Amino acid sequence: NLAVQLAREAGARIAGTGRGRDRAATLAGGAQQFADLDSERFEEVAGQVDVVLDTIGGEVLDRSAAVVRPGGMLVSVALPPKIRPADGRATYFAVDPNGREPAELARRVQQGRLAPPAGAVRPLAETREAFPGKQGTPARPS
């Protein structure tokens, strides 16, 4: 969802992928096209693209190399790509949690430019109830 919003802000035409349950949120977030990974081949829905941003890895990442235009880029945040686009342009990166990227994303959320998806909002006092089945001892201050 955040990747779609960032791409839309940059003026990109967006073809999103995911499970059927993700369709509405992806399209509402700004994607012009959506391919259901359970029933469609994204290669046929999206055609050739300039950039693929992969967050899944595995077979989806391997198949993504085929849709990248010459001069385009395959970016993975999940795993280094095994199969590269025809001209070899592929990138793997990890975001430093203490770096400038998270601070920039937080700034955009505060400005209302990004809207992180939220399943539910609860008071901090209800943290334990928010994660049913999770057992543990609350942290004690040192």
**Cα–Cα distances in angstroms (integers) from residue 90 to residues 5, 13, 62, 86, 93, in the given order:** 22, 20, 11, 10, 10
What would the mean pLDDT of 100-119 be, rounded to a whole number?
83
The pLDDT value given to residue 134? 45
Query: Do the Cβ atoms of 2 and 116 come closer than 8 Å?
Result: yes
What digits encode the pLDDT tens for the residues 8-52? 888 888 888 888 998 998 888 888 999 999 999 989 888 888 888
Quickly state the pLDDT bin for 96 (edges 50, 70, 90). Answer: low
**Cα–Cα distances in angstroms (integers) from residue 80 to residues 24, 41, 65, 127, in the given order:** 29, 22, 12, 35
Quickly state the pLDDT bin for 102 (edges 50, 70, 90). Answer: confident
